[in-house]
Structure 1
Amino acid sequence: MQAISEADSMKKYDQLVDSAMQLFYKQGFHATGVDQLSKQGDVTKKTLYRYFPTKEALVQAALRRRDEVFMDRMRAKLEARPLSERPAAYVDFIIGWTREPDFHGCAFINAAAEYGESNDGAHVVAAEHKRTIREYLERLCVEAGMAVPQAAAAQLFLIGEGLTVAAQVCGLDEALEQQARVLAGALTARR
């Protein structure tokens, strides 16, 4: 019997996490079963449980990966802009994300809804993600020289969350997008 190398093991782990997140994001966390997860991950259930002792452990790993990917994308997009434009660019980033063909809302809002208890592992990871976004927005507002960066960051965060939920529930139209941009522009113009 051939031993699995550590690199192969990490590759399989990553493959399982990524394929699970795709299913969770499209179908929901509770609606996605272990049989489907093992099939999509191209492993037996026994192998799946070797990597993740419970489905909830896989859910948390998938959410953590989603956080890394989302935050990396957002940072790359916003930090390509001049410092003074970065806070308002957050709204453009959110609008662009909601227009993507595979947009199914926010995985973290969805997780918090499905795992309603604040001490559920998935709910905790979702709350951490939202806190990370708020802290990042606050840093952008400080770097942009805004007079009250904490308040501006909180308002930008709320605009982004509202856009995300509106896009998922009823879709964004041009009027909503324009109003979000106007609000962000007025907010970030105050220095």
Structure 2
Amino acid sequence: MTLITVRMISKFIFHKVLGWKLVGDFPRDLKKYVVIGAPHTSWKDFPIAILARNTYGVKINFIGKASLFKPPFGFIFRALGGSPVDRSKSTNKVEAIVNLFNQHDEFRLALSPEGTRAKITEWKTGFYYIAKGANVPVVMFAFDFENKQIIVAPPYYLTDNMNKDMNHIYDFYRDIKGAKPELFYVPPKQK
């Protein structure tokens, strides 16, 4: 199947069948950035994200827990642009991912700052350190189930003030309603 066909089918399903819309766009002039997607509260987030990515027509990779990439369905996640991460090993994942950015001329990586679909009280900051280490911006991507829309923010270039950066990111997501709003937590403003 050609990329044009995949894009047309994805657009049809995303817009006509599911009734979703896109707000904003991924930067076309940037070849490297970290995409953070939230709220990640349901299994529905993944197929909607893939349809949105295909509709936008931008190549964005993702990582997932290693068990997703095992037979019989692991080949599907690889074909969709995924790479497994073994959470049981105590390797420096941030450093390994920064190296991926350094090895490629074009690399966009999507991550969930929550790290899980379960209710959490603290976001993981690996995305932040990956973006800092690779010297790339963060692009925020929101699953707004309340309004059936995917919202993409302009790239945000991190500063040397983590609290300021995280407050900016949290503010973007503060009023977003995921598939299961009760599972989504946005930390309060940091000082």
When the two structures are superposed, what TM-score results if normalisation uses the length of structure 2?
Answer: 0.28
When the two structures are superposed, what TM-score results if normalisation uses the length of structure 1?
Answer: 0.28
Q: Higher relative CO (CA 8 A, sep ≥ 6), structure 1 or 2? A: 2
Which has the larger share of strand?
A: 2
